[in-house]
């Protein structure tokens, strides 16, 4: 073929294409018009009427081409284990991809679940819609302590110079370092030292599990101290005080309690001999504690005690007026009552119990152990 006819043929073709994009003509010889994207052909061109087009239904049908034959197509639905990336509209079909933890498998043409890498294995690539994770055993000095389709092996923590290695890194657990100065676990990647240094440190520490040993010793010391103090106190308070005392011995004992510093306790409410002790015979420090405690801010104070012991409101008010308020009034009342015939410790204890101030009874113990409130 010579160049000239070829050129003519080309020009002819171009001109025809420009005049009739579909390059199709109906029976009458008229060019068939095209439906644009988003519209589908409903009636083919004929008798010079052109092509009949109708808009596609959003979300149901679409057409992505300019055509004189193509109808609207049905939108694709996403398959199992897939999610919609962009919904179907009049010009574009639905775009789907595999859901999280699934990848597209070309062989099965389905979304398959990504491999879950167990501890000791890491994902080569994080699981993605287009790629399986692919698990590999964690190389030296890295570890993975999770079941995961995405987690990669993590570099082991290296203990610093100021730390002791308690446990070497394994493929499933990180190094455990202990600060030499502050006994606390370090879990962060703060290493500057080389693995060799870390191993050396471990040997220096001579033992992998210092923490349990350390805790046991601390625990034993604390428990020992508590037991020691408890036994000491218990013995002190249990030592019988009035073994040789009869009714006549009581006065002598009480006198002793006032003055000596033996560290021996007697509960006046429970000791048979103590109960008949007169309140006036209690040591001055006991009486001072009693007055002080009963005059403290408390819903139940000396006024209630006085009432329980038979004083009427007028009499109680009188104690208060003469001595302002506070310890003075309580003391005046106690001094007054202690002169009464029935002013025994026994009766005082009973009254204190009746008004619900058992806590005050404890103060009546004669211990001489420096248990003073003031």
Ligand X SMILES: *[C@@H]1O[C@H](CO)[C@@H](O)[C@H](O)[C@H]1NC(C)=O
What residues between 121 and 140 interact with ligand X by CB under 6 A?
139-140
Q: Which stretch binds ligand X (CB under 6 A): 89-97, 120-128, 169-177, 315-323?
A: 89-97
Min dist. Cβ of residue 92 to ligand X (A) = 4
User: Pseudo-torsion of CA 299, 303, 308, 311, nearest 10°?
Assistant: -160
Min dist. Cβ of residue 142 to ligand X (A) = 10
What residues between 20 and 59 interact with ligand X by CB under 6 A?
46-47, 49
Q: Site for ligand X (CB under 6 A): which residue of 24, 54, 70, 92?
A: 92
Q: Which stretch binds ligand X (CB under 6 A): 4-12, 63-71, 87-95, 170-178?
A: 87-95
Min dist. Cβ of residue 81 to ligand X (A) = 21
CB closer to ligand X out of 6 and 95: 95
User: Which structure tokens are listed for 172?
Assistant: 């499933």
Q: Residue 257 contacts by C-beta under 8 Å, 6 or more apart in sequence?
A: 241, 264, 266, 283, 366, 368
Q: Site for ligand X (CB under 6 A): which residue of 54, 71, 81, 89?
A: 89
The binding track of 139-178 with respect to ligand X, each residue x by CB under 6 A or -, is: xx--------------------------------------
Min dist. Cβ of residue 32 to ligand X (A) = 12
Min dist. Cβ of residue 113 to ligand X (A) = 27
Walk across the sheet containing 163-167 and list its strands: 163-167, 176-179, 185-186
CB closer to ligand X out of 89 and 283: 89
Q: Site for ligand X (CB under 6 A): which residue of 6, 95, 100, 222?
A: 95
Site residue total, ligand X (CB under 6 A) = 10
Please report, as ranges, the residues that interact with ligand X according to CB under 6 A: 46-47, 49, 86, 89, 91-92, 95, 139-140
């Amino acid at each position: 073929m010579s160049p000239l006819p070829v050129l003519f043929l080309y020009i002819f073709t171009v001109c025809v294409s420009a005049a009739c994009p579909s390059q199709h003509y109906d029976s009458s010889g008229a060019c068939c018009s095209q439906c644009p994207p988003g519209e589908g052909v409903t009636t083919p061109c004929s008798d010079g009427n052109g092509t009949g087009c109708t808009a596609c239904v959003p979300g149901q049908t679409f057409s992505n081409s300019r055509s004189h034959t193509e109808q609207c197509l049905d939108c694709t639905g996403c398959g199992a284990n897939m999610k919609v990336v962009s919904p179907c509209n009049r010009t574009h079909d639905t775009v789907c991809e595999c859901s999280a933890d699934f990848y597209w498998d070309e062989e099965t043409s389905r979304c398959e679940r990504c491999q879950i890498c167990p501890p000791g294995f890491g994902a080569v690539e994080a699981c993605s819609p287009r790629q399986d994770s692919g698990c590999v055993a964690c190389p030296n000095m890295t570890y993975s302590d999770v079941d995961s389709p995405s987690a990669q092996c993590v570099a082991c923590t290296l203990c610093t110079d100021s730390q002791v290695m308690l446990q070497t890194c394994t493929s499933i657990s990180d190094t455990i370092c202990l600060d030499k100065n502050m006994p606390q676990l370090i879990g962060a990647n703060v290493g500057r030292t080389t693995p060799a240094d870390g191993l050396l440190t471990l040997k220096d520490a001579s033992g992998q599990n210092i923490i349990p040993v350390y805790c046991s010793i601390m625990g034993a010391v604390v428990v020992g101290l508590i037991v020691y103090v408890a036994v000491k106190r218990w013995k002190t308070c249990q030592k019988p005080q009035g073994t040789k005392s009869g009714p006549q011995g009581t006065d002598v004992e009480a006198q002793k309690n006032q003055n000596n510093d033996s560290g021996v306790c007697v509960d006046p409410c429970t000791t048979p001999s103590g109960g008949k002790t007169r309140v006036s015979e209690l040591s001055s420090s006991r009486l001072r504690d009693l007055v002080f405690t009963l005059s403290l801010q408390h819903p139940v104070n000396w006024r209630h005690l006085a009432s329980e012991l038979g004083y009427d409101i007028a009499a109680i008010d009188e104690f208060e007026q003469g001595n302002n308020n506070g310890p003075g009034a309580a003391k005046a009342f106690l001094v007054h009552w202690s002169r009464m015939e029935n002013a025994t410790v026994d009766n005082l204890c009973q009254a204190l119990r009746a008004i619900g101030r058992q806590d005050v009874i404890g103060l009546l113990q004669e211990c001489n152990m420096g248990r003073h409130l003031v």
